[in-house]
Structure 1
Amino acid sequence: MDESTVSTLVATVQLISTTLDSNPHGWRDQLHVIRGITASLEILDTAPDDARKRWQLPLVTVFQRVAFVDADNGGVPDIADWCLRQSLALLHLYPDDVDILALIGQNWLLRAQKSLAKIHQEERSSSGSGSGVSQGHPLSRSEEQREVNRATLQAEDRLHSADYVEARGILLPATEYLQRAVNAAQQQEATTGTLYATAAEAFMSLGNVSSVRVNDRYFHEALGYLRAADEIPNYTLPSHLQQ
């Protein structure tokens, strides 16, 4: 790829990023341009080249941002798949690169959002349909215990439903790559609050869709990352992760 083509790509990526910053809801307007690029561009490098990585990684990062603006509804699968494929190609060349590992982990975490959103909606509907009273009277202690047991059994049954199984299958690689990103960042003294928080969210999400028999270790990992993020100077955890 000649310098002129690279310069055009860099300018296009910068424009898309700036446009998203000013008008996040206009992401669909970028799809035609992005698809025109992804249809003809594959990262096929056979040796590390920092000069090429300097434009390749931002390009994939911005395209992935567009692909998952509407993650709760599944995002844009073809672009998301392209981004994952390019990120994995880059990781082969730069196996300890924190940004690439984090980008892959984020791709998997964002893929899980559709299943997680459906699970959240189902749980809200389920809790809304239940009641803590019987025919207008408070439940007795034994009735409360039966309700707790019933709710526990229902929760365990839900773990075998398609959405839970799918979420776990997607979140496992998310936690794997994000944990690798954190480990690499710690070794390179390049940790950030955002990386810790993203890893915490992945482990917390995995714990929420896993059996009580195994989810303690996922929540333990999440808590450790949250504490580490909270200790980063001038970093504030996102509101949904604050305790």
Structure 2
Amino acid sequence: MSRHTGSARHRTHGSRTQDQSPEELVEQVKSIVTLLYEVVSSRPHEWEAYVPSARSAMTALDRLRFFRDPARFAEQVWILQGLQDFAYHDADSGCIRDIAEYCQASWLRILRNYPENVETLTGLGRNWLQRAQATLARIHREEGDSSSGGSGGSGGQTGNSLDVDCDWKSEDDSNYIKATLSADPRRQGPLYVEARGYLQPAVDFYTRAIQSADALGSTTGDLLAAAAESQMSLGNVSGTPADERFFAQAIRYLRRAQALPGYTLSVYLGQYLNDYGRYVS
């Protein structure tokens, strides 16, 4: 094929895109996002080939001012969840930064219309928690920590939370938690500061999501487990006494999740609750 022919075809495709109606563009974006969901779930090793498609979907959404329309809320959530899963397809290794940041900005735009919406607050909490994973993984690598965080809640959260290494007091002192790692001066190092910068917003948004869900009587085990993971992760990169508060709140969320009919914690979170739950009132 000649260069001239290729250019002509490109111009024709561009003209066709411009001629599409808004609804046709939305359907095209949905097709792309459906494909991204499939890539993440069944062939994540092929992610790089689909980055241009994801970016073209973002361009089309911006052209349509799609996230300014409060009437399309359900579609907005579904599209952003798909883009975000794709952006963080391997969160321990990092993210596709421009797509991750696009999702965050779009969630915030939706939040203006629905400031107490559980799905929107959860989407933001998950964005920040996933963003922290690469920094937490780097801390593991650089410090040669032999203990490794497991996956998050069974609702699809991916996590590499640093495992808490605690020197618990006796059960008679169960209201007191002494985390020996919190005294480590490395907690003031740049990686820990970076991790806290990502994890504090995650904790804040998940806390708000649970408050909204509680008000509606719709709190799920997946939400509680993800919120617990954010608390555990922030506790692991914080110093005393803040870390004690984060670890204790994680246990309380896990207890609530475990008590929900039909819900089962992941093996990792269930073990964490079994090991440390008795020390938190």
Residue 234 of structure 1 aligns with which residue?
Answer: 262
1:234: Cα distance to partner?
Answer: 2.1
For residue 48 of structure 1, what is the amino acid of its counterpart?
A: P
Residue 97 of structure 1 aligns with which residue?
Answer: 117
Q: Does 1:115 align with 2:143?
A: no
* Distance (whole Å) between structure 2 residues aligned to residue 174 and residue 153 of structure 1: 22
Q: Does 1:10 align with 2:30?
A: yes
Task: Provide, for residues 43-96 of structure 1, a one-character-per-residue CA deviation record: whole Å limited to 9, x for no partner.
Answer: 5655631xx112111111100001111211221111100000000001111111
* Distance (whole Å) between structure 1 residues aligned to residue 232 and residue 239 of structure 2: 13
Calculate percent identity across the aligned residue pairs. Answer: 41
1:27: Cα distance to partner?
Answer: 2.4
1:169: Cα distance to partner?
Answer: 1.1
For residue 70 of structure 2, what is the amino acid of its counterpart?
A: P
* Distance (whole Å) between structure 2 residues aligned to residue 48 and residue 240 of structure 1: 38
* Distance (whole Å) between structure 2 residues aligned to residue 197 and residue 184 of structure 1: 16
Residue 48 of structure 1 aligns with which residue?
Answer: 70
1:189: Cα distance to partner?
Answer: 1.3
Equivalent residues in 2 for 1:41-80 (5 A)?
A: 41-42=61-62, 43=65, 46=68, 48-49=70-71, 52-80=72-100
Task: Provide, for residues 167-199 of structure 1, a one-character-per-residue CA deviation record: whole Å limited to 9, x for no partner.
Answer: 011110000000101111111111111100000
1:154: Cα distance to partner?
Answer: 9.3
1:25: Cα distance to partner?
Answer: 2.7
SS at match of 2:229: helix
Q: TM-score, normalised by structure 2?
A: 0.72
Number of equivalent positions: 218
Consecutive unaligned residues of structure 2, counting only runs of 5 or more, are 1-20, 148-179, 272-281
Check whether the contact 1:230–1:236 (CA below 8 A) recurs between aligned residues.
yes
For residue 128 of structure 2, what is the amino acid of its counterpart?
A: W
Equivalent residues in 2 for 1:66-215 (5 A)?
A: 66-124=86-144, 155-215=183-243
SS at match of 1:39: helix
1:119: Cα distance to partner?
Answer: 1.4
1:153: Cα distance to partner?
Answer: 8.6
Q: Does 1:28 align with 2:56?
A: no
For residue 5 of structure 1, what is the amino acid of its counterpart?
A: L
Of residues 229-238 and 217-226 in structure 1, the stretch that sits farther from structure 2 once superposed is: 229-238
* Distance (whole Å) between structure 2 residues aligned to residue 153 and residue 11 of structure 1: 47
Consecutive unaligned residues of structure 1, counting only runs of 5 or more, are 128-151
1:222: Cα distance to partner?
Answer: 0.6
For residue 190 of structure 1, what is the amino acid of its counterpart?
A: S
Check whether the contact 1:98–1:184 (CA below 8 A) recurs between aligned residues.
yes
Q: TM-score, normalised by structure 1?
A: 0.82
* Distance (whole Å) between structure 2 residues aligned to residue 27 and residue 90 of structure 1: 27
Check whether the contact 1:91–1:97 (CA below 8 A) recurs between aligned residues.
yes
Task: Provide, for residues 119-174 of structure 1, a one-character-per-residue CA deviation record: whole Å limited to 9, x for no partner.
Answer: 122343589xxxxxxxxxxxxxxxxxxxxxxxx69952101111001001111000
